[in-house]
A = this chain, B = another copy of it.
Amino acid sequence: MPTETDIITGDRKTDRGFQTPEVWAKITGKAIYGIDLKLPGMLYGKILRSPHPHARIMGVDLEQARRMPGVRAALAGDELSCKPFGMVYKDELPLAIDRVRYIGDEVAAVAAIDEKIALKALEAINVDYELLPAVFDTEEAMAPGAPQLHDQHPGNLAWQRELTRGNPEAAFKTADLVVEGSFSVPQVHAAYLEPICCVADYDPYGGLTLHTAVQSPDIVRELVADVLDLPVSKVRIIGPVMGGGFGGRVYGNLKVYIISSLLAIRCGRPVRMQLTRQEEFIAGRPMIAAKIRAKLALNQDGTILARAVDLITDNGAYSAQAPWVSKTLSERNDSVYRIPNIRTTVRLVCTNKVPTGQYRAYGNQVGNFAMESLLDMAAKKLGLDPLELRLKNCVKKGEVTVHGLRINSCALSDCLQAAADEIGWHKRKPGRGYGISAAIHAGGSLVFDKNMRGASAYARLEYDGRVTLFSGEQDYGQGTHATFILIAARALGIEPDQIIIYSRDTLTSPFSIGALAMRQTTIGGKAIQLAAEKLREKIAQTAAEMLGEPVVMEGGRVRSATGKTLELSEIAADYRFQTSGLSITGEGKYVPSESAYDDTGYGNIAVAYSFAAHTAEVEVDRETGEVKIIRIVAAHDSGRILNLISARGQVYGGVTQGLGYSCQEGYLFDGGRVLNDSLADYRIPTALDVPDIMPIFIEQDDPEGPFGAKGLGEIVMVPVLGAVANAVADALGIRVTDLPITAERVYQAIVEWECEQ
């Protein structure tokens, strides 16, 4: 396991091991998660889901359910007057009205005094379906005559894009080498351990309160208010401790929030609704599946000339953010290397399968798998060392990439070198395979909302001299709050244990886009820094007025030119008296310069870009196909590392999820039915599956991030897929191009290869 030397620079005491109280609450079993919550008079809500992949609803009979003792409400879609909603398209209703489009589609809901009665009530609901032909395969769905899912998506095309930059045609014609490949990746679930749970509580005058943990409460709040036609300030979200998010809980499960709210409004009592694990797999919005045909043009010396991608992603029945995820998947890894010519075709296709959503790294890891596989195929054909090929082409500080990203700090070549050195790239052990892969990830996206690019925060001096931070950014285990506290401590010159942070209540926190797009440290942390600096300034100002002479703040107190000192608690007390009760508060507002991107998406889309190179060392059993991951070295440029313990945690967790993506996970379907809809059948890595993971941080201050820091939380997963695929190919001499690289697939590949020989 890693040692202190894994961080190349850095000698700051507080960076080493700060954790927020919540970590200890989790460790000691005292944390109160959403699923632990109970409110007085609370009812239990359950959803009736479609058993058919595609059908017309001819009628929903709720009478029998409504008459059952203990049932307080039963709802169907035709009684509601909610408008359709969705992140990109308004393609969903809280409860289906005339059609269901996948096995799991929400048809009716009940609230009862306990969960058993609620489940019994579901059985008592009679739905009259007229079955419709269904389509499960993306190619079949695009074919003429295929069953159509949405009027707004003719030909089942939910989104498409054709993009050319430079002159890819010419480059492919003149290149010394063109390598080509087809890759596929299944749907993958974020598999947070705590299933989505919400307690909705409605008071007709005060409004709706949702007790639920989401990564982006402010966005969810606005969506829910819109669907329910409530003023947004009459919806409040209070978040308990979150049992994992990983991007899968950015907007959580909007259906759960809306349906539990509708039931709470109907019943006038709090309604708790929790997804079962099976429902999580069916309705929990996994990452889109993708089929990628890609080719790369290179010169003999290894210079990359062009890249072409034809991407088909499987939207499932409803879109959520699938168009945006498809876009990132298709293009982000174009910016890892200098590639002057690009052609990309993307088709996002509706099928009668589970609707999709987003997951940590937002598709970038899928692109990495295809791109980095192709690079190794090219290196092999050119007779180049894969490390050398990457070092030759990788992007550098000061460059602008093919999509217009402005690289203001970059240690990617150092990462490649460090990851290779540490794994023993040039001192390989016999019988083992070695793979390398590189990544870029946008940290602090500026494209979510053209008008809302930054973040804000408050820092308040308490009467006892301690400091409270208020931020809309969410910590769901990734360590954001510890990092924010360290930033504020540094800005204020006080100890981190004197600071506490609140972020889980939309009533008290400033608006935030949320924990997504790796914007927490870069953007949210910058707002914290500015708030703390403003507080420091206001403390000094108040103290100067008290003492009647200029002061400086240092070491948690204020000192004047003539040597008088004031404790922070004295300054707070005086301010309170002067103002009849107020506290000194610093506002921090970080407003990044506007992102300028054109209609093709060309432009600078983030505050900063993080980089990484991972190397993998594997053993493959040629008899069984079993892949054993020996070691992953994860070298990262996330700028200055503010909290080493959290940063390491991110690497361990993200690499582990990347390994699951690479070798274990993926939805299995029988038609529209999910076959592996439990954690017994859908195997995420356990502690026993995790190899030696070695984080390396190459620290270079970013000019924009707080104290030089950039984001880390998503990129940690990205290079794993390519590195593992390449290491397996290196060990076998055979390349597996479909994820996950299970023993079965490897064995099949060996058999096929042997047949071809």
Contacts and interface: CB of A to CB of B under 8 A. Distances in A.
Interface in A466-508: 466, 468, 472, 500, 502, 507-508
Contacts of A21: 203-206
A510 interface: yes
A610 to B, nearest CB: 21
Nearest to A218: B581
Interface string A245-276: 00000000000000000000000110000000
Contacts of A578: 591
Contacts of A590: 580
Given A40-B38, A456-B580, A582-B456, A463 B25 contact: no
A451 interface: yes
A24 interface: yes
Given A24-B204, A203-B25, A464 B581 contact: no
A452 B511 contact: no
Interface string A516-533: 000000000001000000
A488 to B, nearest CB: 15
Given A206-B21, A464-B231, A511 B576 contact: yes
A566 interface: no
B579 A456 contact: yes
A647 B695 CA distance: 68
A589 interface: yes
A452 B580 contact: yes
A455 interface: yes
Interface in A20-37: 20-22, 24-25, 28, 30, 32, 36-37
A702 interface: no
Nearest to A498: B231
Nearest to A24: B205
Given A512-B581, A582-B587, A576 B452 contact: yes
Nearest to A461: B233
A453 B508 contact: no
A581 B455 contact: yes
A454 interface: yes
Nearest to A40: B36
A43 to B, nearest CB: 13
Nearest to A225: B464
A581 B458 CA distance: 11
Contact of A527 (B465, B527, B580): B580
Contacts of A510: 581-583
A611 to B, nearest CB: 26
A87 B591 CA distance: 49
A82 interface: no
A448 interface: no
Contacts of A466: 231, 233-234
Interface string A429-468: 0000000000000000000000111111000001111101
A581 B32 contact: no
Nearest to A31: B203
A569 to B, nearest CB: 9
B581 A454 contact: yes
Contacts of A39: 32
A60 interface: no
A521 to B, nearest CB: 16
Of A30, A468, A581, A582, most B-chain CB atoms within 10 Å: A581
25 contacts: A28-B268, A30-B269, A32-B39, A32-B40, A38-B40, A206-B500, A231-B462, A232-B462, A232-B464, A233-B462, A233-B463, A233-B468, A452-B576, A452-B577, A454-B581, A456-B579, A456-B580, A456-B581, A463-B511, A468-B507, A508-B508, A510-B582, A511-B576, A580-B591, A582-B589
Given A452-B580, A511-B582, 15 more contacts: A21-B203, A22-B206, A24-B204, A30-B268, A231-B462, A231-B465, A232-B463, A232-B464, A233-B466, A233-B500, A507-B508, A510-B583, A527-B581, A581-B589, A582-B587
